[in-house]
Every structure is written in structure tokens, then in C-alpha cells.
Amino acid sequence: MRHTWETVFDLGYGALRALRNSAIALSVSTCAVLAEPVTVVALGDSLTAGYGLPQDEGFVPQMQAWLVAQGADVVLLNAGVSGDTTAGGLARLDWSLTPDVDALIVTLGGNDLLRGIDPANSRANLEAILKAAQGRKLPVLLVGMKAPGNYGPEYQSQFDSIYPELAAQYGTLLVSSFFAPLGSEDPAKLGAFMQADGLHPNKDGVAKIVAGLGPKLLELVASVPK
């Protein structure tokens, strides 16, 4: 079969076009492979750390599994330290927020309550954490705690107001209480979901908390700039 110059040109153009299309497909494929998951740091105390539970039954591992099940491309880092107060969380914030971090969950204040720390101090520490996150342009999910009545109504009112007021001031997402998904703040009513110490959720309690907080975490992830 004889080829005219036009036929040769068409064949060459067709090969070039196929090569170009292959390059585009490879580029898109490479970008998809190189796309990084959203990295979220969970800054908290023993509730975040998973105190008293096997490694895979704590809050962070269960939440990570829940996120994967929802199809979210997220890496959740456990920055929970048992016994930590809001002051402790603030003290280690800088080295917790590495350059690859995209968002932050803050679950602190429970140990401030156990120690009867002045709510003004707790507020100042939490505000400093939110200011630092704002300075890094990190979206935040602030998870509150509720004060028991044994410190008196004034203390309770001052402490409970910290989380909604700071969330409004700094434009963060808010969950009113870590224990809200369990349906009560009264440990006496939560026996089926708590460990023997009455302070920390068991595996089933964590699962309910994860299911309750998970949608807010998805909202946090969606707010991360692409």
C-alpha cells in the first residue's frame, strides 16, 4: 500500500495525539496518587488518649475507622495525654502542630474540672490555643465539657460558658460536650458505657461518642482549604 504525504502526516499526528492523551492521563493519575490526605491533630487528655482501653478501642482509633468507613481521606493523629489540663495542652501545642497538620480537634478541660481550676485560667488557655490555630489558618473543632454542680452554680456557669463563647469568638466548630452523644452528663446514668472508674468511656461508650461526633469531624475536614 502506497502512502501519500497526507497519509503519513495523518499517521504522525495520530501518534502524537495518542501520546499527548497518554501524558495527560498519566499526569492526572499521578496527581491522584500524590494527593495527600487531610491530617487532623486530636489535642486532648485521657479521653482522647484512650485511657484504660486496648490501643484499637480508644477514641482516635475508633474515629479513624469511622472516617474510613465514610470514605473520608483523613489521618487522625492522637495528641491526647492522660492527666493533661488546658495549660498542659497549650504548653505542647507548638510541637503538636507540625507543618503537615491541616486541622485541629481540641478536647481539654476535664482535668481542670477535677482539680477545681479557676474557669478564667481554663478560658485563657483555650483561647491561646484557638489564637495559635487561627494564626496558622487551621480550622478547629472545639469539644466542650460540662462542669458538675458540686462546685456551685457560679463556677458551673462560668466554666460551661467557656466553649460556646470562644467558639463564637473564633469561628470554630463546636460540640457542646464530649459526653453529649451518651445522652447524659450524669455518670450514675451511664454505667453501661463507662469504665469502672466512672470517668472514662468503655469501648461501647467510645463507639457512641464517635458516632455522635463523627459528622462534626467530617464538617471540619470539609472546611480545610483544598
Which of the residues 56, 73, 186, 197 is marked catalytic? 197
Residue matched to cell numbers 493519575: 29
Which of the residues 45, 46, 84, 122 is marked catalytic? 46
SS3 (DSSP) at 211: helix
Which of the residues 45, 84, 122, 200 is marked catalytic? 200
Q: Could you give the count of Cα atoms lying within 13 Å of 114 in the half-sphere of its Cβ?
A: 14
Judge whether 115 and 88 are in contact, CB under 8 Å: no
Rg of the chain over Cα atoms, rounded to whole angstroms, equals: 24
Q: How wide is the angle at C-alpha 141 spanned by C-alphas 70 and 98, nearest 5°? A: 90
| Torsion from C-alpha of 137, 47, 167, 96, nearest 10 degrees | -20
> Is 200 noted as a catalytic residue in this protein?
yes
> Is 3 noted as a catalytic residue in this protein?
no
- Cα–Cα distance between 59 and 80 in angstroms, integer? 10
Q: Quick one: angle between helices 153-160 and 119-135, nearest 10?
A: 0
Query: Catalytic residue positions?
Result: 46, 197, 200
